[in-house]
Structure 1
Amino acid sequence: MDKISRRRALGTAAGALTAVGLARTTAHAASAPAPISAGPATASGPLDEVYQGRRIQIGAAHGGGHHGHHSPGSAAVRIDGRELHVMRNADGSFISVVNHYETFPDLRSLARAAVRELQGAPLLPFGGAA
């Protein structure tokens, strides 16, 4: 009777797990969120509104952004003309440096929360430089 060795059993199991992992990674990559864009993120395209006395602008990013971190098709959020550093999470939600403990489904709600959190204080450039 032919017995399977422990080495062969472990090799077969490792190969099967690798195949399953690759299949899941490929499926996840196909459903990955799109880059930050002004359209879907604000639900109505570019935005220019006054909220609690502060001007919020959301639109296409121009130039290099924060140290050149804007990618093509990304959106910029500005409060009173100053850019708010925004990051997109893997699940498609957003966080900002003003309130990085809470996630937001879109850039408009993120910007409004930042205005509330600032309580009238000016938005300083990312990194604290005045």
Structure 2
Amino acid sequence: MVVGVGGVTVGAEPGAGQPDRAGTGRVTRREMTRGLLASAAALALAPLVAASRPVPSTGMPTGTSFDETYRGRRIHGVLVPTEGRAVGGGEWQVTVDGRPLHLMRRADGTWLSMVDHYSSYATPLAAARAAVDEIGPGQRLRDLAPGPMGGGHMHMGGGHGVRA
């Protein structure tokens, strides 16, 4: 540090020789202008940054249906709207080679099939592909068993009526 005439330091760090503003709580016009310009620039760039980000995935295939051939099997799925569900909700009806594959939505938003009900998949299409992998090349999905989903009468055994 070099001391010049009148006790003012010369050749020292920038701002040396000026009164210390720490603790005064004052903001200069230059600092205020910089802050306002930085805020205006951030507001102007926000729409550009938001538009450049990818759209978050909903976990659903695009659209309300899919139809593809996977490993030689035809997978077809259609989202059927159901009453009482949230907007965009519904039930997926999926078939593999024309036979129904039952899917179920889990609480975390993933899907499982009745063929492979120990694993979860992000989309109904992914669950159907995994079911095809599990079925294997020479096998087919079974027809529906009689019951509420198959349209027949579900018989649980025992007689019809009360026995004493």
Give the TM-score range, shorter chain. 0.5 to 0.7
Contact 2:59 2:109 in 1 (8 A): no
Distance 1:79 1:128, change over 3 A: farther
Equivalent of 1:89 in 103, 106, 123: 106
Runs of 4+ in 1 over 6 A off after TM superposition: none
Matched residues, number: 83
User: How far does residue 46 in structure 1 lie from its aligned partner after superposition?
Assistant: 1.0
Aligned residue number for residue 55 of structure 1: 74
Structure 2 counterpart of 1:125, which letter? D
Sequence identity (%)? 36
Structure having the larger proportion of residues in helix: 1
Aligned-residue CA RMSD (Å)? 2.4
Which of 136, 140, 146 is the matching residue for 1:119?
A: 136
Superposition pairs of residues 1-40 of structure 1, within 5 angstroms: none
**Matching residue of 1:42:** 61
- Structure 1 unpaired stretches of 5+: 1-38, 62-69
Residue of structure 2 aligned with 1:106, choices 113, 119, 123: 123
Distance in 2 of aligned mates of 1:94 and 1:51? 18
Distance 1:71 1:127 in 2: 24
Distance 1:84 1:110, change over 3 A: same
Contact persistence 2:76–2:94 (CA under 8 A):
yes
User: Normalised by the size of structure 1, how large is the TM-score?
Assistant: 0.56
Residue 93 (structure 2) aligns with? 76
Q: TM-score, normalised by structure 2?
A: 0.45
Residues in 1 aligned to 2:78 and 2:69: alpha-carbon distance in whole angstroms: 15
The structure whose RCO (Cα within 8 Å, separation 6+) is larger is 1
Offset at residue 44 of structure 1 (A): 4.1
Q: Distance in 1 between matches of 2:104 and 2:144?
A: 13
**What is the CA–CA distance in structure 2 between the aligned matches of 1:85 and 1:128, rounded to whole Å?**
15
Which string of whole-angstrom CA distances, capped at 9 and with x for unpartnered residues, describes residues 38-63 of structure 1? Answer: x96223431110000000001134xx
| 1:8-33 C-alpha deviation (Å, 9 max, x unpaired) | xxxxxxxxxxxxxxxxxxxxxxxxxx
Structure 2, unaligned runs of 5 or more? 1-57, 84-89, 148-164
Q: CA deviation at 1:96?
A: 0.8
Structure 2 distance, partners of 1:123, 1:106, is: 20
